Every structure is written in C-alpha cells, then in structure tokens.
Amino acid sequence: MIKMGGFNLENLSLITILIIILFAWSARIEPCHARQGKYWRQSKTAPAASVSMQSHHHGRSLSKFTDSYYILPDKTMATQKGQSSASTFNVLDYGAKGDGHTDDTKAFEAVWAAACKVEASTIVVPSGSIFLVQPISFSGPNCAENIIFQLDGKIIAPTSAGAWGSGLLQWIEFTKLKGITIRGKGVIDGQGSVWWNDLPTYSPDSEVSSELSAKMPSTKPTALRFYGSTDVTVTGITIQNSPQTHLKFDDCTSVQVSGFTAASPENSPHTDGIHLQNSRDVLIYSSDLACGDDCVSIQTGCSNVYIHNVNCGPGHGISIGGLGKDNTKACVSNVTIRNVAMQNTLTGVRIKTWQGGSGSVQGVTFSNIQVSGVETPIMIDQFYCDGSKCSNESSAVAVSDINYVNIRGTYRRNPLHFACSDNLPCTGLSLDTIELNSVGEDAQPFCWNTYGDLRGTLVPPIHCLQSGKSRKPVVYC
C-alpha cells in the first residue's frame, strides 16, 4: 500500500472511480426544459422553469395531477406579442398592424398557415386592436385537429365595392376542419349598412368609410361560415352588422354555440342570426340574437338540433324552413327548442314550407316559450311563397309529430296560425298549456287541414284543430 503525505492512494482511486460513474450517470438525464413531451408546452423565450399552470379553456380544470403541473392536451396559453409558444400564434407576430386601416389579410393567412401544422394550436387575435380583413378562407382538410381561434380583438370587413368583386357568398370561412373553436370576447363587424341600403352611405357614428364610390354587389356575404367540419365550437364572440346571415353552419356535425351575440338592426334585410343547413348534432344555448330576419333558421338536412336559453328579438323568430323550394326534397327531424324568450318579433316559432316541395318535418318540440309583443307566436305555413307569382301545388313537405308545450305571453296579430296543405294535412300536433293574450284587438286561432290533440289551459280556446289523425298516411323522409 503506497502512502503520500499520509494520504491513501487506494482511497484516491476509489473516489476517482465513483466520480466518473456519477458523471456518466448524470449525463444520461435530460434537463426538464429540453423535453418536448405531448403534455408540456414550453415558451421559446421564457426560462425553463416558468411553465404556466393556468388554463385558458373556459374554466376547464387541470387534471387531478395538479401537483405535478400536468397539463391536459387541449390546454393553451395565450401570449402577447413576442412571447409566442410552440403552439400559440399571435397575428401581430405575423405582420398584422391592427390599426383598423391597414389591410391585415396577409398576416391572417400567414398565421393560419403556421398554426394549421400544429395540433391543438391557438391563433391569438389580441384585444385592443382592430383588424381590417378582406374575404378569407381558413381551409383544411390537411390541417391538424383541434385548432383554437382566440378572438379578443375586433375584425372589420372592407366597405369598398372593389373588395368583393362581382359578389361573394361569405366573408370569413372555415372549411373541412376537425375540431375548430372560435372563442373569446372579440367582435366580427361586417359593416353591413353599405349592403343593406345598396348604396354608399356614411354615418359619423359608424366606422364605414366615406370613400365609397361604387355600388356594392347584389350578392351579399354571410359574415362567418363553417362548411364540412366536425366538432365545431363558437363561444363568447359577437358578430354585428352582418351584410347577410351572421353565423352559418353548412354540412357540419357536432356543433356547439354558446354565449354568442348576433346584433344587427331590425330593418337589416336577410340578416339571420344563426343559419343551419345539412348539419347534425347541433347545440345552441345562452345566446342573444337580434337581427332583421330569423334569429335561428333551420333548413333542410338538419337533425338532432337542441336550442335552449336563447333571447330572440328583434327578428322573425325561430324558423324551420322555408323548405322544399323549387320542388326540392327537404328533411328535418328531431328538433327541440325550449326556454326561449322572444320580444317584438314577426313570428315566434314557425314551420314554413314552399308549395310543391316534398320530404318531411317531424319530431319537433317547442316548450317553455315566452313571447312579448310577437305578431304571430305559433305558425305552420305550408303555402309559403315570397314572390308575386305563387300558385297552389298538389305536393308539399309533410309536417307531423309537432309538440307545443307551455307557450305564454302576448301577441299583436294572431295567436296561432296553422295553414296546412289541402292534399297533405299536418298531423300529430299536440298543444299543451297555451296562454296568449292580445295587446290589441282579440283574434281567433286559425287552422286549416290540421289534426292533433289539446291539453291543459288554452287561452284563447282553440276550436279549429281537428282531433285525432288524418286518414292520409304520414310521410317520412
């Protein structure tokens, strides 16, 4: 055994070996901030230890492993300019000015191109800015799933005729996506007065440009349209002053709308609040709809639609139809509309079908509807026609299995109007607890070729409904 100055060389060798082993072992451990795991999102600019635990997905909580800072896959973290994370994309970082005058369309196209590649990404349109955006389409189907469009600022439409060419059917469009969410407290402003009047206009109280010199196209665009998409969510945002329909879903599945506001004047033509077509499994709730046409319009190809806790007015009420235009086949089924308040609308709950169509409307329930100053609260019209050349047709879209429960309030013209086809009666109607009082002269319910049952309190009395069922067979799609 060799000793140097009282120090044991054998001990020195053992210590050296241990140090080498510890060094080799520690080198295999990756530092935390370098991992890009599925459930961690690390800021590019923040220090490694500054991973946020805050959820920004409308109160959805962290998992039960909160003590481990485990973040569920669908959580996102909104950031300010210059702080974009790997899954968050701010339009200001892609060249948007947000001054309300500069054309920011290219910035929106660029931010979409980047976010489209990242699953569960978030596009941030920040508050405090106004973005002028030309007609634009955010398209799949090659985009990643579950993209979030966080709208907290304001997006405005161009008001010059040149921006619209010969006319477009929509202004902002999301197509062929799976898992697309638009949420936030922001506003989409269609600046529609230049379209409603069909002439260049200027108001000192609006942001419409006074530099208009050309007439707008006759084809008016929908403000926001979703097409061919699944798992679609719209929550919290406002769409105002739309040139035509505010929010449209076409050929979509699994749609949810909540906390949504549509706001346009009563005299703005064809400005439906929400328009559904060829869409299934739709939930609309806790929304305020004020417009110049139907608050909600349900068109052909819709099924499993549930609407509740909605305020409607001004507008034309909630309508199924018009269906069967130009002798087409239309099918609508399994629709529930409940806990709705309507004020100063043209109609309350309405089913309208064009003469000459085919198909059916079936399995519809209207319940707990409160009306105030509504012209005609309850209506079925199988003779619908909005032109001057209308003639009686032998065929019609069949109407059956329609339930009215607990509809109360005041009307201005007629409490109830059932005008059903001569050749295809409305059948299987049920009316339970209807209390409607006139705010003007009293009027009597009107029924034509309508069969059903009466229950509960009925004010005014409904004597025109034929009891039982029609002898003609019920038509289904």
Peptide linkage before 461 cis (omega within 30 of 0): no
Alpha-carbon gap, residue 133 to 187, rounded angstroms = 13
User: Has 316 been annotated as catalytic?
Assistant: yes
Element at 413 (helix H, strand E): none
DSSP helix/strand/coil, 153:
coil
Neighbouring residues of 389: CB distance < 8 A, sequence distance ≥ 6? none
315: left (phi over 0), alpha (psi -120 to 50) or beta: left
How far is CA 45 from each of CA 80, 98, 166, 264, rounded to the nearest angstrom?
A: 12, 24, 46, 43
Q: What is the DSSP string of 78-139?
A: ---TT--BTTEEEGGGGT---EEEEE-HHHHHHHHHHHTTSTT-EEEE-TT-EEE--SEEEE
Alpha-carbon gap, residue 347 to 350, rounded angstroms = 7
Alpha-carbon gap, residue 76 to 462, rounded angstroms = 55
List alpha helices for 116-223, DSSP H.
193-196
Radius of gyration of the chain, Cα coordinates, nearest whole angstrom: 30
Neighbouring residues of 422: CB distance < 8 A, sequence distance ≥ 6? 392, 449
Q: What angle is formed at CA 324 by the lines to CA 313 and CA 224, rounded to 5 degrees?
A: 45
Neighbouring residues of 341: CB distance < 8 A, sequence distance ≥ 6? 310, 311, 312, 313, 370, 372
Alpha-carbon gap, residue 227 to 140, rounded angstroms = 10
Query: Which residue in the list 152, 293, 381, 401 is annotated as catalytic?
Result: 293
Question: Cα torsion for 77, 81, 85, 89, to the nearest 10°?
Answer: 90
Neighbouring residues of 53: CB distance < 8 A, sequence distance ≥ 6? 62, 66, 69, 71
Q: What is the DSSP string of 221-282?
A: PEEEEEES-EEEEEES-EEES-SS-SEEEES-EEEEEES-EEE--TTSTT--SEEEES-EEE
User: Has 293 been annotated as catalytic?
Assistant: yes
Alpha-carbon gap, residue 402 to 208, rounded angstroms = 45
Residues paired with residue 170 on neighbouring β-strands, in sequence order: 222
Query: Which residue in the list 316, 381, 401, 417 is annotated as catalytic?
Result: 316
- Tell me which residues are annotated as active site: 293, 316
